Chains A and B, each alone.
Chain A
Amino acid sequence: MKEEILKTAQILLVEDNEGDILLTLEAFEEGKFKTKVSVARNGREALDFLYKRAAFIDAQKPDLILLDINIPIFNGHEILEEIKKENTLKKIPVIILSTSSNEKDIERAYNNHCNSYIKKPLEMEEFINAVLKIEEFWLQLTTLAK
């Protein structure tokens, strides 16, 4: 247990909104775990990171992925599908963090085996709080596959 806490958790944040990126980074900084958050700003960057291609050759496999749906090039649904189809990636928990409250988006995400779907809170404090809760639940309470 102690060892796990000491280990730095690798987090991949797939998000194109600069404000949300900074807020998420701040939240993780405020959290009680050692985390390293890498940011992919569109679908292509996300896939490059996961497959250690192009600018992300040295990327580390993430322990947790936070994924927005409405992002350029490939959208979040396509990225999620890819992750859950790929044997080496599918055990990584994928948390959808989206502004969409559209039923179709939610259903599609769960059908594609997202690990949880969280609507981005509109208020700043709640947003930070949501990120902290994600961190606590997935990095402390949950035992992840190695």
Chain B
Amino acid sequence: MKTKLIIEDAEDLYQNAPFGYLTVQSDGLIININSTLLHWLGYERQEIEFQKSFQDLLIMGDKIYYETHIMPMLLVQNEIAEINIQLKGKGLIRLPVLINAKRIVDSTNQESFFRFSLLDITQRRKYELELMKARKEAETTVQQLKEIKQDLEQFAYVVAHDLKTPLRSIKGLLSIIKNKGDKMDNTKKQEYFNVVINAADDMYKLIDSLLEYARTGSVQEEMQEVTVSGIFKTQLNFFEQEIKKLGGQIETHSTIKYITVYPVLFQQVLMNLISNAIKYRSETPPIIQVTCKDQKGYTLFSVTDNGMGIPTDRFEAVFKLFRSLNPNNDSNGIGLAICKKIIELHGGTIWLESEIGKGTTFYFTIRKD
């Protein structure tokens, strides 16, 4: 019974409580600190009492917070509760704590003291960080799922819509041929059959394009550091002759040396944009400029032409599957949709500026890290 009483005396309750305690003067000088807190911080008593002020135990940001918020609040309200700060212990010891504090006034000389109790929240902090991390991961996943859903919706729309158009022709014309039977003359029948066969070919082409779009990015290719000049050279080799034949020219300019990309996919983007610039040229010979420069954490590319231009209300639609502006211009309507998909794989965006009759500039970024 006696031992229990000694352990439970006030001094021991103060020194060895599962809480950190300290008392400071109004200038912050620590005049009393309990053993628990000394142990947490790794200091000896004589290093702290009347040697250090509470501010000395704080990192810079919290020091300012202490002086501009904690102390003024204590002086006005006489107490504060559950303020989250970080204490600096000996060496590399850092201790996240919740502090409660109370103002005590000495009845003899009216001097103010402040008692602090500090709760170690290292574990809680860890949980919080883990929670934050998990939440961030969840948000990213939700975002990815949203994008996949949008992709799927568009895919479904295309299948429902663009595949049904030729199918309507096929079914419609075959039904007519069947119903009319011999009443239909042979030439007409042949004409109908030809249209049916062409419509079936259209369906093949659509399905091939859909598969090509779906496969983009699913083939595993390693990200690689490559030179911009090398990328540009490949494009020039591919297009220069064709452009010269048309009496036009192509120029490239870069202020960046290296980029990290999926090389094959990335080349495909430039290839699509440049061949569009040639395909949709105006009456004048095509003049095409390709540039590359730095832009805050991204690399910005542009492909400018002097072609026929794109109407403003189609700026977004052109990047959607099968929304080609020029049906029958041997365009399969997936080039820009594929570009968009590839650029997004590189953490970037693609957009355009254009004026009818003057030309178009496609811009796209890729993330540097």
Contacts and interface: CB of A to CB of B under 8 A. Distances in A.
Are both chains from one complex? Answer: yes
B164 A16 contact: no
Interface in A108-127: 108, 120, 122-124, 127
Contacts of B176: 22, 26
Nearest to B314: A104
Contact of B164 (A22, A70, A104, A122): A122
Contacts of A70: 327
B143 interface: no
B317 A127 contact: no
B327 A122 contact: no
Nearest to A121: B168
Contacts of A86: none
B153 to A, nearest CB: 14
A124 B161 contact: no
Interface stretch (B132-140, B192-200, B335-343): B192-200
A54 B333 CA distance: 32
A140 interface: no
A71 B326 CA distance: 7
A84 to B, nearest CB: 18
A71 B168 contact: no
Interface residues of A, number: 21
A19 B168 contact: yes
Q: Which of B168, B169, B173, B317 is most buried by chain A, counting CB atoms within 10 A of its CB?
A: B168
Contacts of B195: 18-19, 22
Interface string B315-331: 00100000000111100
B67 to A, nearest CB: 58
B172 A19 contact: yes
A17 interface: yes
B168 A127 contact: yes
B254 interface: no
Contact of B168 (A26, A72, A108, A122): A122
A80 to B, nearest CB: 14
A120 B351 CA distance: 31
Contacts of A72: 326-329
Name the 8 nearest CB pairs between A and B, nearest first.
A19-B169, A124-B172, A122-B164, A18-B195, A23-B172, A124-B171, A72-B328, A124-B168
7 contacts: A19-B165, A19-B195, A22-B169, A26-B176, A104-B313, A120-B165, A122-B161
